[in-house]
Chain A
Amino acid sequence: MKQFGKILKFELKGYLRNKVFVGITIFLVVAIAVVMFIPNIVSAFESDGGDDTGDVMGELPAMLVYAEDEALAALVREYFAAAFGGYEVRIAEGTLDEIKADILSGEAECAFVMNSASSYTYYVNNLSMYDTNTAVADTVLQEVYRINAMVGNGLTPEQAGEILSVQIESGVEMLGKDQMQNFFYTYIMIFALYMVILLYGQMVATNVATEKSSRAMEVLITSAKPTSMMFGKVLASCIAGFSQLVLVFGTAILLYNVNKDALDNPLISSIFDIPVELFAYLIVFFVLGFLIYAFMFGAVGSTASKLEDINTSVMPITFLFVIAFMVVMFSMSSGSVDNTAMLVCSYIPFTSPMAMFTRICMSTVAWYEIAISIAILIGSTVGIGVLSAKIYRVGVLLYGTPPKLGAILKNVLKK
């Protein structure tokens, strides 16, 4: 126990003195601070420069409307002017070539050339990914066409307008959880879990392999118990990773609250609107998930003789983890987090940290299901921990080609 404390302290010190670790943490915190303050900074600039640029801001890009039938052109212009607030809608004069030239020269941004009341061609220079003009135009033109048709059948334009603009009153009462609302923060937390476990797991593996390849292991193994070494190393990385997460997320939440007024955006507030009890679950699943993977990474690291072998050796674990991540991500975006794959995954210890946590976030899970999942996870973590310490003891003294997993297990179980 005494040794364990000393190893933990030494390893933690190693992280704190690691310039890359400290650098990345500071970078992340600063980056988040900058992002959080952007709305304030932008609005500060806007209010400063408002006097000079006021008239420039008022100039809207031009949208041209053309139809051979002048009455149709006037009608469409009128409706488009109402629908496209961001444009100055003008009736084009001249030929189609002149309209094209106007667009190419930047005089106008786009043009609708009407073939008939229900058919048009949209001219634009570069079609932006987010150009919704045709969709808006379709809706507007449909409405115009319908009103005209109804008027033609004897209704007054007012009656037709009333029919078309009827409002349906509705209300949604959620008995479970709002998946739309929960999606973003669940996504971010799962992604953080994924990144941290994979990154730190690799670090543990590299750490062990470095000790082995530098032969520091020869002295270490005669000075400390393998179990203390394994647990000390893994817990130190867990504490380092967790503090990094807390620091980054803490900064984000703190600065969000500081800048809450400027960041008045439903998407952003949905990210930060995390129920407190979810944090408790996040900690439980983070710690257990982290430990179970870090133990495996450590054990694998101990079987590699050279640092170059690490990447191939950890591949199976990384695969397992990426598959778990994929299942969760697909289920999340498909909208059914309670599908069979997720149900199974939420009880398998290697996948449950992500799968069960996602289900808790986005769906309704009975308390006993959570309890069973956590119990299995705790049991497996302890089991994997002990087993990996044993593999570690055998692995660290084997040099040469990495031994086969089967051979190691046989060796471990023999004792």
Chain B
Amino acid sequence: MILELKSIDKSFGEKEVLKGVSFTAEGGRAFGLLGRNGAGKTTSIRILMNVFPADGGEVLIDGRPIDYDKIGIGYLPEERGLYPKKIIIDQLVYFAELKGMRAKDAVKAVDYWLGRLGMTEYRNKRLDTLSKGNQQKIQLITALAHDPDIVILDEPFSGLDPVNAMLLKDVVKEQIARGKIVLFSSHQMSYIEEFCDSIAIINAGKVAVSGDLHEIKRAYPRNKLVVSAANTDRIRAELGEICTAREDGTLLVRLASPDEKQTMMKRIVEICDVDEIKVLEPSLNDIFVEYAGAQI
């Protein structure tokens, strides 16, 4: 299954929030939607979920306009919250029923998930008696109980302790393995890097870059070398301004162009005894800062 957002436009009043946003997410793979606060991520997600219509563009599943009666979507919003005063099982079954499940199936599914997340003991308690992390796990059930085709998780790891984060990772991996489209939105780059095969970075209502994460990384200019050596001072004295010391004690050497790589490596090896020289692979963080940071 392939989900495609095609040149989506959206304005609220005078304010243009999305300007031709397009990206593609595939079933069985996780997709990371990145962007700074206010870039338009939540608006894109809401249009994808048909909370409000787009002014232009379309949402397609396998090339055809999405049929919301057939395609189930599960959503964990960034702004967490359910009914604080209501019994947990009641509200979870209610939300599952709203998503089209029959009462009996809803109870079964909710009980499965309560067990899976280790929350069965809270089944008949009021939500506001739970800790924040546990409330978050309860909310995760609203996104998963009805076995949706598309799972959208907005900052799923915020507020979880390491054990619960592990549990959530397992759940997410299982969803991906079951062939679902899993859409991540997060500022925690390490999680995105761990899960997502492809990403889109939205900046000021436009997609700054999108596609396969490895390809994006490869396309990132390979014009920096990382040198680790016993005596970096000699290299610095020799090469001058193009060198900067990194926190881990290695040296970063900026090249005028990627073509210089080979010559520069030879030159450094001749200066002193070098342990390792490699081309700097950009982290997702670098890419994010590059694409999302520049224009705001």
Contact = CB atoms under 8 A, between A and B. Distances in A.
Interface of A: 2-3, 6-7, 10, 13-14, 211, 214-216, 218-224, 393, 397, 407, 410-411, 415
A10 B142 contact: no
Given A222-B73, A223-B98, 13 more contacts: A2-B100, A10-B90, A211-B83, A215-B79, A215-B82, A218-B75, A219-B82, A219-B95, A219-B139, A220-B95, A397-B46, A411-B12, A411-B13
30 contacts: A2-B100, A3-B98, A6-B97, A10-B94, A14-B86, A211-B83, A214-B82, A214-B83, A215-B77, A215-B80, A215-B82, A216-B81, A216-B82, A218-B79, A219-B77, A219-B142, A220-B95, A220-B98, A221-B51, A222-B46, A222-B51, A222-B73, A222-B75, A223-B95, A223-B98, A224-B98, A393-B52, A397-B46, A397-B52, A410-B13
A222 B49 contact: yes
Main secondary structure of the interface of A (DSSP, over half): helix
Interface in B94-130: 94-95, 97-100
Contacts of B49: 222
A216 B83 CA distance: 6
A6 B94 contact: yes
Instruction: Give the size range of B's interface with the partner.
Output: 20 to 34
A214 B51 contact: no
B293 interface: no
Main secondary structure of the interface of B (DSSP, over half): loop
A302 to B, nearest CB: 14
A415 B73 CA distance: 24
A6 B99 CA distance: 11
Contact of A415 (B53, B90, B95): B53
Contacts of A3: 98
B38 interface: no
Interface string B29-50: 0000000000000000010010
A415 B55 CA distance: 10
B75 A219 contact: yes
A415 B52 CA distance: 10
B26 to A, nearest CB: 22
Contacts of A211: 83
Contacts of A415: 53
Contacts of A221: 51
Interface in B9-40: 12-13
Nearest to A3: B98
* Complex A-B, nearest 8 residue pairs according to Cβ-Cβ distance, in ascending order: A215-B81, A218-B77, A223-B98, A215-B79, A214-B81, A222-B49, A216-B82, A224-B98
A410 B13 CA distance: 9
Contacts of A397: 46, 51-52
Interface string B61-101: 00000000000010101011111101000100011011110
A351 to B, nearest CB: 34
A14 B90 CA distance: 10
Given A6-B94, A407-B13, A415-B53, A223 B79 contact: no
Contacts of B13: 407, 410-411
Contact of A223 (B81, B84, B99): B99
A147 to B, nearest CB: 78
Q: Most A CB atoms within 10 A — which of B49, B84, B95, B139?
A: B95
Contacts of A14: 86
Nearest to A410: B13
Nearest to A218: B77
B94 A218 contact: no
B84 A214 contact: yes
Contacts of B81: 214-216, 218
A415 to B, nearest CB: 7
Nearest to B86: A14
Contacts of A218: 75, 77, 79, 81
A7 B52 contact: no
Q: Most B CB atoms within 10 A — which of A3, A211, A219?
A: A219
A407 B99 CA distance: 32
B68 to A, nearest CB: 10
Q: Most A CB atoms within 10 A — which of B46, B98, B142?
A: B98
A46 to B, nearest CB: 50
A214 B84 CA distance: 7
B40 to A, nearest CB: 14
Nearest to B87: A17
A205 to B, nearest CB: 17
A3 B90 CA distance: 16
Contacts of A10: 90, 94
A224 B100 CA distance: 10
Nearest to B82: A216
Contacts of A223: 95, 98-99
A11 to B, nearest CB: 10
Q: Most B CB atoms within 10 A — which of A14, A214, A222, A397?
A: A222
Contacts of B83: 211, 214, 216
Contacts of B90: 10, 13
A211 B82 CA distance: 8
Contacts of A411: 12-13
A36 B176 CA distance: 68
Nearest to A213: B81
Contacts of A393: 52
